[in-house]
């Protein structure tokens, strides 16, 4: 494995969570960095995700007493100390030799909820043993339903509290930046959860069949497979990768426990809108009380504040988690979460919000180019 071991100390010069992005560029081999930082195609949506935060400014409020302030929230039947969730990210070994075990330890130390990926480098059982009680399992449906059922049974047995079905990445276009950097997934990077399931060979496509529709998409999840999943687990099922307000409403009606407004960090449909830009319409479609999580481009407490103001209950962290992991392992992820929480608290205090529920669209004002 070419990833150098990360030092178990916080490097000097880290003043905010975003510094981990800067330092990760020195900690990671160039190809790994390009794979993690890049999206699909031309990275249009990766850029859009970040740019969307710049379209909003936060309005300060003065003279409000915030001394009873906190960032606690209720989510999926649990009380969490802050609204930061560690997103599912495949192949944690690319960032750190301890991979998801280090993230799990950081989650436990900071009370964060962690959502390990089906494609994690460590098994869901190993991660559960290292994590705190707030853990959900991200599911990619397996072509063989028996294997999906086995994954579900394992997640339930390992004490995961929810299933997060990802629906926006059945097909991923190659990342131009990762290709240009010569990135190839190292042989050691195997999906530990799937090692016990035999890989079925893809059948040859009949002449004239599409490599996309009849090929790559043949096992993609559908509304029927969502119903099948809901009927085969006792855990609440969240659906990740939703941008269209109509899909959000249909998912609520279908029985999803909640949704994650996300474009897979720009790694799915390149050219899709920034997830932040769809958040207000999704919130309007599902109503005030339906749980909506958000991810895509969050790099600071102020970014999280904007997402919460536009309708999210909590935010997931993808790349920031991997950057902190690469720079300083479990300590780095815990430190990054601590910095983000303090950044959010400082933003809330200056915007006159003592609790998360006080962060509303009125806390923001659109910015316009001069
Ligand atoms: C991801 N993401 C992801 N999502 C998922 O549901 N299952 C997965 O296995 C992965 N794998 C993955 C790998 C890498 C390297 C990245 C960067 C992302 C998407 C992830 O959960 C999340 O939606 C985005 O990363 C959010 O955007 P930011 O926070 O990275 O800007």
pLDDT score, position 369? 58
The answer as to whether 88 is a domain residue is yes
The answer as to whether 326 is a domain residue is yes
pLDDT tens per residue, range 93-132: 999 999 999 999 999 999 999 999 999 999 999 999 999 9
- Centroid of ligand 1 to alpha carbon of 300 (angstroms): 17
The total domain count for the chain is 1
The answer as to whether 306 is a domain residue is yes
Exposed e or buried b per residue across 77-114, where buried means at least 16 C-beta atoms within 10 angstroms of its C-beta: eeebebbbbbbbbbbbbbbbbbbbbbbbbbbbbbbbbb
**Ligand 1 in reach of 264 Cβ (< 6 A):** yes
Closest protein CA for atom 4 of ligand 1 = 88
The answer as to whether 214 is a domain residue is no
Angle CA 360–300–327, to nearest 5: 155
Average pLDDT over residues 46-50: 98
**Ligand 1 in reach of 89 Cβ (< 6 A):** yes
The answer as to whether 12 is a domain residue is no
Q: Is 96 a catalytic residue?
A: no
- Centroid of ligand 1 to alpha carbon of 45 (angstroms): 13
Statement: residue 368 has pLDDT above 80: no
CATH number at residue 108: 3.20.20.70
* Confidence class for position 199, pLDDT limits 50, 70, 90: confident
**Ligand 1 in reach of 17 Cβ (< 6 A):** no
The answer as to whether 134 is a domain residue is yes
The answer as to whether 65 is a domain residue is no
* Residue-by-residue DSSP string for 155-193: HHHTT---EEEE-S-SS-PPBHHHHHTT----TT---GG
Name the percent of the chain lying above pLDDT 90. Answer: 91
Average pLDDT, the chain: 95
Q: Which domain holds residue 239?
A: 19-58+71-188+219-356
**Which of 20, 37, 83, 87 maximizes ligand 1 atoms within 8 Å of its Cβ, making it the mutation to test the pocket?**
87
pLDDT tens per residue, range 280-300: 999 999 999 999 999 999 999
- State the Cα–Cα distance between residues 231 and 253, nearest whole angstrom: 15
The answer as to whether 89 is a domain residue is yes
**Ligand 1 in reach of 31 Cβ (< 6 A):** no
Statement: residue 5 has pLDDT above 70: no
- Centroid of ligand 1 to alpha carbon of 295 (angstroms): 9
Of 82, 142, 264, 335, the active-site residue reads 264
């Amino acid at each position: 494995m070419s990833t150098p071991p990360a030092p178990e100390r916080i490097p000097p010069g880290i003043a905010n969570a975003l510094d981990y992005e800067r330092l990760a560029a020195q900690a990671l081999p160039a190809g790994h960095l390009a794979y993690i930082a890049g999206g699909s195609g031309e990275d249009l949506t990766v850029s859009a995700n970040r740019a969307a935060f710049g379209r909003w400014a936060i309005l300060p409020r003065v003279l409000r007493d915030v001394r009873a302030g906190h960032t606690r929230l209720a989510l999926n039947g649990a009380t969490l100390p802050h609204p930061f969730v560690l997103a599912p990210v495949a192949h944690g070994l690319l960032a750190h030799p301890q991979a998801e075990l280090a993230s799990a330890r950081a989650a436990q130390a900071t009370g964060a909820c962690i959502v390990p990926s089906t494609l994690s480098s460590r098994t869901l059982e190993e991660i559960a043993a290292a994590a705190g009680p707030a853990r959900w399992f991200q599911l990619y449906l397996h072509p063989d339903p028996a294997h999906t059922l086995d994954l579900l049974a394992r997640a339930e047995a390992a004490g995961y509290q929810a299933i997060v079905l990802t629906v926006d990445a059945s097909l991923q276009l190659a990342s131009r930046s990762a290709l240009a950097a010569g990135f190839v997934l190292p042989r050691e990077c195997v999906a530990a959860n799937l090692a016990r399931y035999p890989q079925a060979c893809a059948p040859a496509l009949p002449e004239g069949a599409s490599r996309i529709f009849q090929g790559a998409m043949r096992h993609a999840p559908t509304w029927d497979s969502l119903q099948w999943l809901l009927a085969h687990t006792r855990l609440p099922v969240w659906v990740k990768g939703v941008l269209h307000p109509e899909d959000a409403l249909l998912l609520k009606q279908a029985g999803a426990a909640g949704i994650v407004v996300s474009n897979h960090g720009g790694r799915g449909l390149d050219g899709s809108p920034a997830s932040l830009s769809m958040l207000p319409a999704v919130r309007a479609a599902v109503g005030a009380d339906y749980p909506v999580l958000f991810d895509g481009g969050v790099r600071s407490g102020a970014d999280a504040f904007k997402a919460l103001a536009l309708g999210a209950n909590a935010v997931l962290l993808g790349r920031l988690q991997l950057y902190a992991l690469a720079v300083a392992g479990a300590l780095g992820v815990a430190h990054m979460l601590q910095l983000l929480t303090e950044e959010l608290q400082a933003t809330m205090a200056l915007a006159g919000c003592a609790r998360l529920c006080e962060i509303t669209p009125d806390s923001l004002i659109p910015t316009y180019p001069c």
